Amino acid sequence: MKEFMDVPAEKVPVFENAELCVVGGSCTGVFAALRAARMGVKTVLVERQNRFGGVATLGLVGMWHTFFDTDQKEQIIKGLTYETCERLEKYGAVSNFRDPEDSMSGVRLNPEYLALELDEMVRETPNLTVYFHTAFSSAAMRAPGEIEAIVLEGRGERFAIRADYFIDATGDGFLCRSAGTGMYRHPSPQPATACMRFINWDRLGEFSSTALRDLIEQSREKYPDLPCGYNWGMYSHGSKLYMLAGTRILHGNTIDTRSITAAELESRRQVRALDALLRDHFPEAELSLQALPSMIGIRDGLHIRSIRQLTGSALLNRAPKPDAIANGTYPVDIHSDKDDSITFRFLSGFETVYRGGRAAEQRRWLPEGESLPYYQIPLSALLPDRALNFIAAGRMIDADPEAFGAVRVMVNLNQCGEAAGVTAALAVREKCALPEVSPAHVRGALAEGGSIVK
């Protein structure tokens, strides 16, 4: 049984009275804050670590997906995702995102330049105040569904920020949960992965991810901490550092402190075993580990109960969505929580199951000859049920496992962040509850600010 104790009530200083407070500073949160501040809203952005970018910087995952439809004819994503790439291009810190063919296999970013550029984008924006090293702790409610202020843990002190509206961009939905939103987990949540970076990977020669999987399976007895065989990797753009997403926490849980501590430790044991295996196997390569993430990459944690859950069948059908706020092409990509398998449902109409790095099963999920050029994400999946002045953007989105497998990638969540920022800015203007903001107005304001709205 859990033991509880009373904590004495305390008075905390109020550091800010803002119109909008965004909690969480991945691109999702930064883009939400930038969009609102650019619309003249007095905005505060809070991040618990020392830089912006979330999984893209802290987690070492510098890969965005294409901005074009699957026919490679039409651009479907623009807004701040595109603007950020234009800025990174000046440093040679992004691969060719302008060309549909070149970018079909992904847009590679240099995470360090991304962190620097996000700082600049925030610094250049009036109306925007930033707090680093500040973690959300709890929401103080004015009434059910209405947050008055949030309490934060800063450096050695607790303080509060009052705001008219709040955006939860914590990934995990901490703000929504504290404000009383119903939360749930998927029955088999996608596993967490800690990435790592190596130098001298190029000296391993033609060493494919399938070859690495095979080597892992042959070597398991000698290196018992090796992960299951799943892995993918890439060179960080403009650098000789190779990022390997090669660990996998099976049957894990990342939603409470004890479990995530265990997951961090296990993932680093897996890194250690991989490093030892590769050094022993390729001694002449002088492979060297150069970076570990400052947090394990969480694919699938808690989700909010929204006013309408996004299901796979709703996402992948062609019916028009009057409240569409984002366009995407990333396939439904479900990593197994039990082994190294991955299931991809491609918009081309094929579904492929990979086991041991090889296509093990293939079938069509769309009738022969049919494909989907892109799908759309609705605003309703970001609006927590019965919430008046807070909205969520990020992987806590209300989506079933199939829809989530597709929407969970950054180019999609970046757009959700922009939509949350625009919705909050319109609510400030119209002095209304967030669910009362007209989706048509949100779409109009998104287009005005540079997004592609279909």
Which span sits near ligand FAD by CB under 6 A: 62-70, 274-282, 306-314, 344-352? Answer: 62-70
Binding of ligand FAD by 252 (CB under 6 A): no
Instruction: Considering the complex, state which of residue 245 and residue 285 has its C-beta at the smaller distance from ligand FAD.
Output: 245
- Could you tell me the smallest distance in angstroms from the CB atom of residue 401 to ligand FAD? 14
CA 58 to chain centre: 11
Q: Which residue in the shown chain puts its C-beta closest to ligand FAD?
A: 54
CA distance readout (Å), 264 to 52, 188, 303, 339:
21, 19, 21, 19
Residue from 20, 21, 23, 377 touching ligand FAD (CB under 6 A): that is: 23
CA distance readout (Å), 348 to 122, 247, 309, 339, 373:
38, 29, 25, 26, 8
Q: How far apart are CA 100 and CA 72, in angstroms?
A: 5
- Residues with Cβ within 8 Å of residue 142, at least 6 apart in sequence: 148
Binding of ligand FAD by 24 (CB under 6 A): yes
Binding of ligand FAD by 193 (CB under 6 A): yes
- Residues with Cβ within 8 Å of residue 327, at least 6 apart in sequence: 76, 77, 374, 375, 376, 377, 415, 452, 454
Instruction: Considering the complex, state which of residue 244 and residue 285 has its C-beta at the smaller distance from ligand FAD.
Output: 244
Q: How far apart are CA 38 and CA 116, in angstroms?
A: 20
**Of all helices (H) and strands (E), which one includes residue 111?**
helix 111-123
Contact string (CB under 6 A) for ligand FAD, positions 42-61, x = contact: ----xxxx----xx-----x
Q: Which residues ranging from 158 to 177 are in contact with ligand FAD (CB under 6 A)?
A: 169-172, 174
Residue from 85, 332, 406, 413 touching ligand FAD (CB under 6 A): that is: 413
Q: Which residues ranging from 361 to 400 are in contact with ligand FAD (CB under 6 A)?
A: 394-395
Instruction: Considering the complex, state which of residue 285 and residue 331 has its C-beta at the smaller distance from ligand FAD.
Output: 331
Binding of ligand FAD by 415 (CB under 6 A): no
How would DSSP label each residue in 245-267? E---BTT---SSHHHHHHHHHHH
- Could you tell me the smallest distance in angstroms from the CB atom of residue 88 to ligand FAD? 15
Whether residue 134 contacts residue 12, with contact meaning beta carbons closer than 8 Å, is answered with no
Instruction: Considering the complex, state which of residue 297 and residue 384 has its C-beta at the smaller distance from ligand FAD.
Output: 297
Q: How far apart are CA 434 and CA 160, in angstroms?
A: 22
* Residue numbers at the binding site for ligand FAD (CB under 6 A): 23-26, 28, 46-49, 54-55, 61, 63-65, 135-136, 169-172, 174, 193, 195, 245, 297-299, 394-395, 408-410, 413
